[in-house]
Amino acid sequence: MTASDRPSQQPASRRIADTLRASIERGELEAGQKLPSERALAEQYGAARNTAREAIRLLAEQGLVTAKHGRGVFVREPQRLFRFGSDRYSIANRETGLTPFRLEAKKQGKVPRIDVLSITREVPPPDVAERLQVPADSESVVHRENHYFADDEPVQIVSTYLRWEEAEGTLLMQAKSGPNGIYGRLEELGHVMTRVRDEISARMPSPEEARVLDLLPGVPVLEVLHTSLDQNTEPFEVSRYVHRADQTGLLYELPVS
Amino acid sequence: MTASDRPSQQPASRRIADTLRASIERGELEAGQKLPSERALAEQYGAARNTAREAIRLLAEQGLVTAKHGRGVFVREPQRLFRFGSDRYSIANRETGLTPFRLEAKKQGKVPRIDVLSITREVPPPDVAERLQVPADSESVVHRENHYFADDEPVQIVSTYLRWEEAEGTLLMQAKSGPNGIYGRLEELGHVMTRVRDEISARMPSPEEARVLDLLPGVPVLEVLHTSLDQNTEPFEVSRYVHRADQTGLLYELPVS
DNA sequence: TAGTGGTCTAGACCACTGG
DNA sequence: CAGTGGTCTAGACCACTAT
């Protein structure tokens, strides 16, 4: 009757989870296959349904399974990664007239879509102000917020910040910013991208990000805080990329001096 | 009596979580501060304890709070990131005689420690075999597994793979591989590191990784699959880094051609 | 010892999916 | 419609922490 009629040292939910995980890893339960229902598991292990449910939660937390409401719990399919390479900034790629994301999508045979959510003058977040070298206490930047899709699946949220003094009254304030996108316009303003600085971290998504990116539980996000430096090593653009980590990765190839 | 005596559209657990999150974000609940107990929250919101508990689980999943058994639930302290820069591969840094990790730790005023777990001849994992250009069906590599600590806190798990034919009978098979570590020995073998290729992804840790890295629930890991290329663009070393994402980040600074 | 989170039980109703 | 996961209740005992 008590929680441990056999003092197994491990909680019952943990034992059930471990058994299921072993099945998955041995390939007895293949990707896409349905697990026994929570009620079936509970009966099978002589436990309450909540205990079986807890076991499944443990597996979902590790990204091994996914629950579909009304259908069942399924072994998650391994996802091929949509990989963003460091050559996405390369000028050689600029000749196509495509922006980096459209280029990367084309390369991988996907149909890109970019939704421009807003283009507004704002007070910059502290980390952005520091990197763009603008005041953090006035409306010193233009914030362009975009959502990127590949084959209509949300892939990343991008917030781009530019100096207000440079963007005011230019195509940088427009959704369609012309050939080569904003980098084309910034080049006309005298900023040739010479170096980039990407600061990378991983974390769990906020509820808002989980909603926009349509994230399943147990899927983290990759955050890239990107700074573009010009020929004078002056920062002229800062962007925050939030990628879904189950479908995207990053690739950096660089020379060692 | 029913689950929704007020049809609030949101589950009760979600509403409780949202209220608590708002408190945290407004700063009413500061970092390190204790939340009301599960039993107190349940009474306060007229819900069962399990419902309050579910609300706290939602917050923990987002990395906002941490439960301490027997003590309470606390608002998580923001962690300063231990950042690994792409200059960690730089030859300029090689003159110190320190390995990249020791160098990075010193820079940040931390005491590094490296535990060498094993150095064994093995069949390489498929992704490693592909990048190191060795057979995936024979014991073609040496696998060095290390755990890295900063101030005695586990920071990363590193698996380094080298060609068996090159490592056999050399210092590369020893825990102490001499000045400048394995890169020093590999240079003597004629491999000058000229380019590096880092493939980055984020995911939730396996139970084993969570144990070794002492990870709290809701903390993802950053995985870097690193390839070193020599003066002939030949790969000569592949490493898999698994970082805890709550305390470490990555930094890449590179020229744009 | 009292208070906390960790786990579990044995129910219940709801929301969603599919035949 | 039956079967599934999603949420919730009102208890219970255990394990850990502090006093």
- Given A35, A54, A75, which residue is the final one in a domain? A75
What is d(CA B29, CA A89) in angstroms, rounded to the nearest whole number? 42
The CATH number covering residue A41 comes to 1.10.10.10
A1 within domain boundaries: no
Contact A224, A198 (CB under 8 A): yes
Question: Which residues in A lie closer than 8 A to residue B62 (C-beta atoms)?
Answer: 204-207
A197 shares contact with chain B (CB less than 8 Å):
yes
Mutate to test the interface with A, among B88, B204, B248 (most CBs of A within 10 A): B204
Q: Are residues A186 and A247 in the same domain?
A: yes
* Same domain (yes/no): A219, A104: yes
> Do B62 and A206 make contact, defined as CB atoms within 8 angstroms?
yes
> Residue B32 domain-assigned?
yes
Residue B256 in any domain: the answer is no
Does some domain include residue A51? Answer: yes
Q: Which residues of B touch A51 (CB under 8 A)?
A: none
Helix, strand, or coil (residue A66): strand
Do B228 and B150 lie in a common domain? yes
Query: Given this model, what pLDDT does residue A91 score?
Result: 64
Distance CA B21, CA A171 (A): 39
The DSSP bridge pattern shows strands B195-203 and B221-229 to be antiparallel
Mean pLDDT by runs of 10 across the 257 residues of chain A is: 46 95 91 95 96 96 92 88 73 65 80 92 96 96 93 89 95 88 90 93 89 87 95 96 91 87
B222 - beta bridge partners? Answer: B202, B243
Which residues partner with B55 through β-bridges?
none
Phi, psi of B246 (to 5 degrees): -80, -15
Q: Is residue A169 within 8 Å of residue A121, measured between CB atoms?
A: no
Pair (A32, A159) in one structural domain: no
pTM, rounded to two decimals: 0.86
Q: Does B78 touch chain A (CB under 8 A)?
A: no
Q: Are residues A91 and A187 in the same domain?
A: yes
Q: Which domain holds residue B21?
A: 12-75
Token pair 């003092």 is found at: A7
Residues A170, A188: contact at Cβ < 8 Å?
no
Residue B55 within a domain: yes
Domain count, chain A: 2
Does residue A4 lie in a domain region? no
Bridge partners (DSSP) of residue A228 are A196, A237
Per-residue flag: A13 CB under 7 A of strand C: yes
Query: B31, B49, B75 — which closes off a domain?
Result: B75
Closest by CA to A246, choosing from A131, A85, A3, A77, is A77
For position A107, what pLDDT does the model report? 78
> Are A61 and A155 in the same domain?
no
Q: Residue type for B211, please?
A: R
One domain for residues A33 and A155: no
**Judgement on whether residues A70 and A118 belong to the same structural domain of the protein:** no
Both A67 and A103 in one domain: the answer is no
Alpha helices in B133-245 (DSSP H): 164-167, 181-188, 207-213
Q: Are residues B94 and B37 in the same domain?
A: no
Q: Is residue B186 part of a domain?
A: yes
Q: Is B105 exposed, middle or buried (0-12, 13-18, 19+ CB in 10 A)?
A: buried
Tokens of B126: 């498929």
Residue A2: HSE in the Cβ half-sphere, 13 Å Cα cutoff: 5
Torsion angle (degrees, nearest 10) of CA B20, B22, B24, B26: -150
* pLDDT per residue as tens, chain B (257 positions): 333 333 457 899 999 999 999 999 898 999 999 999 999 999 999 999 999 999 999 999 888 999 999 999 999 987 767 777 777 777 666 666 667 778 778 877 888 888 999 999 999 999 999 999 999 999 999 999 999 988 888 889 999 999 999 999 999 999 988 887 888 899 999 999 999 999 999 999 988 898 899 888 888 999 999 999 999 999 999 999 999 998 889 999 988 87
Residue nearest to nucleotide D3 (CA to C1'): A70
- What is the model's pLDDT at position B217? 81
A72: left (phi over 0), alpha (psi -120 to 50) or beta: left
A199 and B257 within 8 Å at the Cβ level: the answer is no
Round to whole Å and give the CA distance between A198 and A108: 23
A73 membership: H or E segment, kind and range: strand A72-75
Q: Do A108 and A188 reside in the same domain of the chain?
A: yes
pLDDT at B80: 67
Which residues does A253 contact at the CB level (< 8 Å), separation at least 6? A85, A86, A87, B195, B196, B197, B198
- The CATH code of the domain that includes B96 is 3.40.1410.10
Determine the Cα–Cα distance for residues B51 and A76; give it in Å rounded to an integer.
28
Residues A194 and A223 in one domain: yes
Residues 6+ apart with CB under 8 A from A22: none
Nucleotide nearest to B56 (CA to C1'): C5
In a domain, A227, yes or no: yes
Both tokens assigned to B71: 């003590």
